[in-house]
Amino acid sequence: MTAKRPRPILLKNYRPPAYLIDTVELDIALDPTRTRVHSRLKLRPNPKAEKKKEPLRLDGEHLELAEVRLDGRTLTGKDYRLDDTSLTLKKTPAKAFTLDITTYVNPEGNKALQGLYRTNGVYCTQCEAQGFRRISYYLDRPDVLATYTCRIEAEMDEAPVLLSNGNPLERGTLAGGKRHYAVWHDPYPKPCYLFALVGGDLSSIASTFRTMSGREVDLRIYVEHGKESRAGWAMDSLKRAMRWDEERFGREYDLDVFNIVAVSDFNMGAMENKGLNVFNDRLILASPETATDTIFEAIESVVAHEYFHNWTGNRITCRDWFQLCLKEGLTVFRDQEFSGDERSETVQRIIDVRRLKSLQFTEDAGPLAHPVRPESYIEINNFYTATVYEKGAELVRMIQTLLGRDYFRKGMDLYFDRHDGEAATVDEFITCFEDASGTDLSHFKRWYSQAGTPELVCDLHFDPEKKRARLDVEQVLPPTPGQPHKKPLDIPLKLGLLGGNGQDLPLKLDGGPVLEDGVVHITKRKQSFKFSDIPSRPVPSLLRGFSAPANITVDLSDQDLEFLIANDSDLFNRWQAANTYAMRTLIETVRRLAKGKKASHGMRYAKALSTAISGEGLENAYRAELLTLPSQADVARVIGKNVEPVSIQRAHRRLMKLVGRTLGDQLEDLYDELADEGPFSPDAEGAGRRAVRNAALTLLTARGEKPDLERLSRHYFTATNMTDRAHALYQLAAQRSSDRERALNDFYEQWQGDHIVIDTWFAAQAHSPLASTLSRVKALTRHPLFALTAPNKVRALIGTFALTNPVQFNRADGAGYTFLADQVLALDRLNPQIAARMLSAFRIWRSLEPKRRAKARSALSRVARAKGGSPDVQEIVSKMLEL
Ligand SMILES: [Zn+2]
């Protein structure tokens, strides 16, 4: 921790590095508390540097420096300057030179989980964003690309498996067989954030993949002993992802081996280190008994995501961290497309849009709003956000919508051709699409620099005499921190106009062509589009497929929504209409409850939903999405100010109950007919069946009758897979019945020995809306299986409570806020990155009603005043409080 307040780093201050590193030779002798790292760097002054003769300043933190040699000569304290964050050489040769640096690090003592650390006896590394500087002194920035050779040495017993990036070169034994070593070489130049090393006693499963040019690649997934049988799905996902990237984007894998290692303590989900992906083990290990369908889907998607980085991130990396979305937004887009192709395009889109709205729209509406390409940061780890990832993916998707799939692919091909082996920028990426398609995207680029969610206010007028419809669109761009005024964006608005029989009418622009793709471009603040040959008043279906990350306002009556739910040819929008209808009903109920009125409201919605789910030929997964009402947090986001969580909860419960009652027979039939028969399959079909059945169970349980609660208990106690069991456990944990404790005890007895599965037990209790939840959560922080040093435990217990339990976290007495502030302060001393993440649960505090707002502010102020806080936490808290 530096004592002085850290200064922000600004995009506009970017300068090319003064020195380049061509090769790195590492020699690392692993030891639990005193690992020796010897690094030999071949450096030279950068011919493209702006200033000549700058001293060489290497980044380094938490390192013990043993020796520095320059071209073989040992340097003394007079030759360099050393402080907490750097090593600066006073004089270096004008030409190429070699630097040998020996440092010591303590993997066991590293609880921040950045750099080299040890978890469950396994040595592993996490270098993105700036972890390498905790391993050795280096130019720790993504635009310094070098080839790496890494020799690792360790006790044979302690670490029989020794891995690094690239291909294996050599291995052997030392000291009479007690120690051994392995040498790895990565021929592809990379920034140090992609460096990785693993050493441990691990088991593995193996397979091979033949690439499109006929090369054979050895694939291996390393896991804890005894967990091998749970790695099969990840391996299967990897091979499908490798094939998909060849077919869809023409991208082939480039090394002889591809290794994945699953570790139990990891700050992120997974990391794309070249040829050696390191994963949080909950995103690798799965079996029907231990993992839910959601986890199976997440494994498929994250394994693909990290693999896809090999081209979008590794072969072409980012020039600086402001360009993070260049690799993340693009790679999220690629993994979404992969999941859509592997499963259902429409359902995948619904899942992605739900996620975007719940995470990113919330972020955009609060104090942490920032552009997809931020312009300043204090701690880059705070910018691994929904905006960079999810909205970043939406921007890539909009480029595809604007150009069409063919030109989009041509632009991607050009990007791979032009920038392979380089550290690129967002501007260079966009230029590839402009060059490939001949389209000017300069206006579109504003999306990268303007924060906030645009709102499209739409109005449709119909002139029965002229048989003409006019769509007026106004784009409203709400202010965000640091950006009070904004310029209009270039927004692709995909739409349809439905005629009286429910069919799409041809979109003939007045005096112009027919819009084949149904996309109009909104480029000005206010715009009108006239459509001719419209026989009768049409019903508009707007923002089809969610063609832009925007909110839409349009005056649709209940009848219009019912018409769209029954007829829209765009299945995404059919779901959207149902979701809008549910939201409208919920908000109206909240309003009525606030006025003390009776809330006999929602019957029409329930009936429309009943028609919707009985539509022919619909996939089960799609029906499950229809049956999943907006969450209480969604309602709070849409209400936006003076939020009172208890009234939202009451409205939500009433609607769930009403739907459960109105659709009762239909739901019971679905529940009975779709029971699993035969062996479990994690594929889209099986997962869809379980999803609709569990959604039906939730709505039936909401009726609260005795047989409903008995069904719920039966569902838990007779479950043959974790999807059903975990779903029922969450529901039971919310009930005040004796079966609650019976199920929780049963789950604990069965899974206390499994550090992944037991997280569901922590999370189910933290998620419960019962008034006793906070004291339960507090007690669980002292449970022997809980540890503040284990990020997955923190996320399961504290994260679930703060982020997914609106009523209990936002308790009127403020005790939820006090608890979170206490936990953040304790965590900050161990793992600042995770502490900052947890703190972001306060991001909605300004939208709360005044009493809760005051209590949240005082909890935040306490965090802000704490002595010795990390830059991670201080950056988030000062933004929250607008300091
Ligand atoms: Zn990524």
Task: Give CA 639 to chain center in angstroms.
Answer: 25
Instruction: Give residue-wise pLDDT tens across range 201-243.
Output: 999 999 999 999 999 999 999 999 999 999 999 999 999 999 9
The pLDDT of residue 3: 44
Instruction: Indicate the pLDDT class of residue 789, thresholds 50, 70 and 90.
Output: very high
Between the CA of 396 and the centroid of ligand 1 the distance, in Å, is 15
User: How far is 801 from 769, CA to CA, in rounded Å?
Assistant: 10
Ligand 1 center–CA 590 separation, angstroms: 39
3-state helix/strand/coil string of 110-164: CCCCCEEEEECCEEEEECCCCCHHHCCCECCCCCCCEEEEEEEEEECCCCCEEEE
| CA separation for the pair 691, 348 (Å, rounded) | 14
User: Do residues 34 and 154 lie in contact, with contact meaning Cβ atoms separated by under 8 Å?
Assistant: no
Inform me whether the pLDDT recorded for 275 exceeds 80. Answer: yes
Query: 566: Cβ–Cβ under 8 A, 6 or more apart, which residues?
Result: 502, 608, 611, 612, 615
Q: Report whether pLDDT(648) > 50.
A: yes
Q: In this predicted structure, what is the pLDDT of residue 301?
A: 98
Instruction: Indicate the range of 291-305, 648-662, 675-689 predicted with least confidence.
Output: 675-689
DSSP 280-333: EGGGT---TTT--HHHHHHHHHHHHHHHHTTTBTTTBEESSGGGHHHHHHHHHH
**What is the pLDDT averaged over residues 704-711?**
97
List helix spans (H) across 422-551: 426-437, 446-449
Give CA 431 to chain center in angstroms: 27
Tens of pLDDT along 235-273? 999 999 999 999 999 999 999 999 999 999 999 999 999
Say how far apart CA 565 and CA 568 lie, in whole Å: 6
Token duo for residue 871: 């830059």
Q: Per residue in 819-870, pLDDT tens?
A: 999 999 999 999 999 999 999 999 999 999 999 999 999 999 999 999 999 9
**Taking residues 31-50, what's their average pLDDT?**
96
DSSP, res 545: G
Say how many Å lie between the CA of residue 741 and the centre of ligand 1: 39
Distance 783 CA to ligand 1 centre (A): 33
Task: Name the band, by pLDDT with cuts 50, 70 and 90, for residue 596.
Answer: confident
Mean pLDDT value of segment 377-389: 97
What is the Cα gyration radius of the chain?
Answer: 28
What burial class does residue 608 get, using C-beta atoms within 10 Å of its C-beta: 0-12 exposed, 13-18 middle, 19+ buried? buried
Tell me the DSSP string of 786-844: --TT-HHHHIIIIIHHHHH-HHHHT-TTSHHHHHHHHHHHHHHTT-HHHHHHHHGGGGG
Judge whether residue 1 has pLDDT over 60. no
678: confidence class by pLDDT, cuts 50, 70, 90 = confident
Report the pLDDT value the prediction gives residue 5, as an integer from 0 to 100: 66
Strand segments, DSSP code E, in 175-256 are: 179-190, 197-200, 203-210, 216-223
389 CA distance to ligand 1 middle (Å): 8
- Characterize 492-502 residue by residue with b for buried, 16 or more Cβ atoms within 10 angstroms of its Cβ, and e for exposed: bbbbbbbbeee
Set 153, 297, 306, 619: catalytic member: 306
Would you say residue 551 has pLDDT above 70? yes
173-200 tens-digit pLDDT: 997 889 999 999 999 999 999 999 999 9
Task: Name the 3-class secondary structure at 47.
Answer: coil
Q: Is the pLDDT of residue 2 over 90?
A: no
Above pLDDT 70, what percent of the chain?
99
- In the beta sheet, which residues pair with residue 552? 456
pLDDT number for residue 781: 98
Instruction: Measure CA 824 to chain center.
Output: 21
Query: Does residue 153 contact residue 174 with C-beta atoms inside 8 Å?
Result: yes
Nearest to residue 203, comparing CAs of 272, 109, 115, 281? 281
* pLDDT (0 to 100) of residue 598: 76
Establish whether 306 is a catalytic residue. yes
Residue written as tokens 């552009």? 371
User: Residue 178 Cα, ligand 1 centroid: separation in angstroms?
Assistant: 38
Distance 391 CA to ligand 1 centre (A): 13
What letter represents residue 520's amino acid?
V
Q: CA-CA distance, 242 to 84, in Å (whole number)?
A: 43
pLDDT at 306: 98
pLDDT of residue 782: 98
List CB contacts of 666: < 8 A, sequence separation 6 or more: 610, 613, 614
CB contact set of 834 (below 8 Å; sequence gap of 6+)? 267, 791, 794, 795, 827
**pLDDT tens by residue, 509-539:** 988 899 999 999 999 999 999 999 999 999 9
pLDDT at 599: 65
Distance CA 818, CA 837 (A): 16
Q: What are the b/e assignments for 185-214, b being 16+ CB within 10 Å? A: bbebbbbbbbbbbbbbebeebeeebeeeee
Q: In a 3-state reduction of DSSP, which class is residue 356?
A: helix
The sign one gets for the Cα dihedral 254, 258, 262, 263 is negative
CB 262 within 8 A of CB 199: no
The average confidence (pLDDT) of the chain is: 97
Q: Please name which of 701, 757, 778, 765 lies closest in space to residue 733, comparing C-alpha atoms.
A: 765
